[in-house]
Amino acid sequence: MGQKSRLLHALRIYSRARGGADRTIANRVQLFEQLLRFLFAMGIRIHHIRQTPLWSVALFVQTRLCEGLKPGHAQNTLAAIHVILDEAGAGMVNTTCSNRALGVPRRDRRGAHRAQTREEYEQTLERARAVDQGLAHLLELMFFLGLRCTEALRAARELAGWLALLKAGADRLPFQYGAKTNRYRVIEIISGLREQTIGTIESALAYCQSNNGNLITGAEEDLRTARGRMRDWFYAAGIRGVLSSHSLRYTYAVNLALALLHEGVSPAEVLDRVSNAIGHGARAQLMLGTYMQEIQDRFTSVVIPRRKPRNPSKTVLGRHLPGPQRTIRSNRQMKFRKE
């Protein structure tokens, strides 16, 4: 096994050991692999990932920023580097190569998306129907349930159960299969849109039953090609930019917040409930600063406490062991020579 192949193999092992969804593990590998290519292009040779010079990480990030890398992508790349190097036992990477130390600008989500008005939503649906009826059903599920596009794509098997619960009088729907990283959450039904939500799920279920159980079927009838076809159809329908499909989650958040405020729920509780309903946990600041920009004036009385810094994450395999012992464990698993 060559040096580069051995490093790539180690990279995959470390990413898998840290855990997460399959897509997260793959993305982590892809982002860190850019650093390895940079090291080889600069003539920097390392025998183990933990030997990556921290100054080379800083040089890599600054080079990518000069090339026009967006702040969000830069933060994701640096987060992947932190995870892999920490798993490999590199030491001070989280402090020496932090976003602040390397001058990575903060990501500003304001203006990236916004909630759609009813007229804009109808126009979006009209363009989607001109491309494919399944795409229109997918957007309707996003609008009424606050789903991500991939979640709506995978929610076909949940539709029958959701419909039965709604007809039985439920006002909340359990959701796990198909959710991001399969994290369980409870979707709240917007009170003023209950009947429309039931009609949307009924029509989407009928469409799935006549189309192999899917809203969108890929060329190879798997999730990967279905997602690719969905993205192509979004582009064909002009659903991108500020009013992309993700903006429908903003619309759901605003509609749910207004409905809860109308029912007399306190603004602080509204932020928490909306955050949980769309799958972000208790992140009131994210809700207020990103998803509810149009109605921020309704929450002026809310005081959001400053978040406590969390402890550095530990490895899934051997989280009870200190760093050096975890490194030895990884070396033995991959049968590497100890330097």
Whether pLDDT at 135 is above 90 = yes
pLDDT of residue 313: 47
Q: What tokens appear for 313 in the block?
A: 């994450």
Tell me whether residue 113 is in a domain: no
Measured CA distances, 6 to 118, 216, 333, 334, 336 (Å): 54, 39, 13, 9, 9
Nearest CA-CA partner of 250 in 61, 92, 117, 54: 117
Q: How confident is the model at residue 303 (pLDDT cuts 50, 70, 90)?
A: confident
pLDDT of residue 331: 44
181 shares a domain with 281? yes
Mean of pLDDT values over 300-321: 58
pLDDT of residue 319: 45
213 shares a domain with 147? yes
Whether pLDDT at 97 is above 60 = yes
Nearest CA-CA partner of 266 in 289, 284, 279, 248: 284
Mean of pLDDT values over 269-275: 92
Better-predicted residue by pLDDT, 196 or 98? 196
132 shares a domain with 280? yes
Contact 71, 61 (CB under 8 A): no
Tell me whether residue 307 is in a domain: no
Over the chain, what is the mean pLDDT? 85
Contact 330, 13 (CB under 8 A): yes
Domain extent for 283:
118-299
**Domain total of the chain:** 2
3-state SS class at 13: helix
Tell me whether residue 308 is in a domain: no
Counting runs of H as helices and runs of E as strands, what totals does the chain give? 15, 2
Whether pLDDT at 329 is above 90 = no
Condensed to tens digits (0 to 9), the pLDDT of residues 61-71 reads 889 888 888 88
Contact 136, 125 (CB under 8 A): yes
270 shares a domain with 190? yes
Contact 139, 245 (CB under 8 A): yes
Distance CA 9, CA 20 (A): 18
133-145 helix and 118-131 helix, angle to the nearest 10 degrees: 150
145 shares a domain with 189? yes
326 shares a domain with 244? no
Tell me whether residue 339 is in a domain: no
274 shares a domain with 180? yes
101 shares a domain with 143? no
pLDDT of residue 335: 45
Tell me whether residue 122 is in a domain: yes
User: Which amino acid is residue 186, in one-letter code?
Assistant: V
Condensed to tens digits (0 to 9), the pLDDT of residues 7-37 reads 888 889 988 888 877 888 889 999 999 999 9
Residue pointed to by tokens 């402890």: 311
Distance CA 267, CA 300 (A): 9
- Calculated CA dihedral for residues 179, 192, 283, 161, nearest 10 degrees: -20
Task: Residue 162: give its domain's CATH number.
Answer: 1.10.443
Mean of pLDDT values over 328-332: 42
pLDDT of residue 172: 94
- Listed in sequence order, the residues at least 6 apart from 35 whose beta carbon sits closer than 8 Å to its beta carbon are 52, 56, 57, 60, 77, 81
Distance CA 129, CA 147 (A): 19
Tell me whether residue 305 is in a domain: no
**Nearest 5 degrees, angle CA 85-CA 91-CA 97?**
70
188 shares a domain with 248? yes
247 shares a domain with 162? yes
Tell me whether residue 185 is in a domain: yes
141 shares a domain with 263? yes
In this prediction the pTM is 0.76
Q: Work out the percent of the chain whose per-residue pLDDT is above 90.
A: 44
Q: How confident is the model at residue 206 (pLDDT cuts 50, 70, 90)?
A: very high
Whether pLDDT at 334 is above 80 = no
Backbone torsions φ then ψ of 90, nearest 5 degrees = -75, -20
pLDDT of residue 312: 47
Task: Residue 90: give its domain's CATH number.
Answer: 1.10.150
Tell me whether residue 304 is in a domain: no
93 shares a domain with 203? no
